[in-house]
Amino acid sequence: MKKLLLAALLAATSVTVAQAADYELGTLTISNPFARASAGMASAGGGFFSIENAGEADRLIAAHADVGAVTELHTHIREGDVMKMRQVEAIEVPANGSVELKPGSYHVMFMKLKEPLKKGETFPLELTFEKAGKVTIDVEVAGIGAKMAPGMDHSKMKSE
């Protein structure tokens, strides 16, 4: 019975994230935007989505959301046995290629959250690309463990 309930829960989360809208900006298509619900009183959260590019190379150079006081582009690097987050200046979107912002990799970081991110809510996220310009997408808040990379937990992250 527990396995059946877990399978149903995972399927429901996957369907919710998969049904998110696509957003087009020039030759770029942004798909499946989601954030994970906040764990407890977490002061930070991550945003994830895919970017497909049918044209020349571009770069995601900024993001802004009102859910937190600070919004940054981040990646993860491994130092020994420890994964650490680092802010990046930009995220490359290759010509005729794609990049996926996902847990354990590139992502948008929302810090100093004004309120916890709650499953089922949505919020606007403005993305700025070097060549294509700006687009605002709606980010759906999925469950706490949605597409979580092994060993990652934003609830213990401190914002400065």
pLDDT in tens, 46-104: 999 999 999 999 999 999 999 999 999 999 888 888 888 899 999 999 999 999 999 98
Please give the tally of structural domains in the chain. Answer: 1
Classify 44 as helix, strand or coil: strand
Q: Is residue 16 part of a domain?
A: yes
Question: Is 52 part of a structural domain of the chain?
Answer: yes
Residue 92 lies in a domain: yes
- pLDDT at position 147 is 62
Does residue 160 lie in a domain region?
no
Distance of CA 8 to the CA centre of its chain: 23
What does the pLDDT look like over 96-144, one tens digit per residue? 999 999 998 999 999 999 999 999 999 999 999 999 999 999 999 998 8
Q: Which of 22, 35, 31 is nearest to 108 (CA)?
A: 35
The verdict on residue 159 lying in a domain is no
On the question of pLDDT at 17 being above 90, the answer is no
pTM: 0.78
CA angle 44, 101, 127 (to 5 degrees): 75
Q: Identify which of 101, 146, 144 has the alpha carbon closest to the alpha carbon of residue 10.
A: 146
pLDDT at 79: 84
In this model, does residue 12 exceed pLDDT 50? no
Residue 156: phi and psi, rounded to 5, are -100, 0
The confidence score (pLDDT) of residue 41 equals: 81
CATH code at position 124? 2.60.40.1890
* Domain that residue 133 falls in: 2-154
| 3-state SS class at 142 | strand
pLDDT at 83: 84
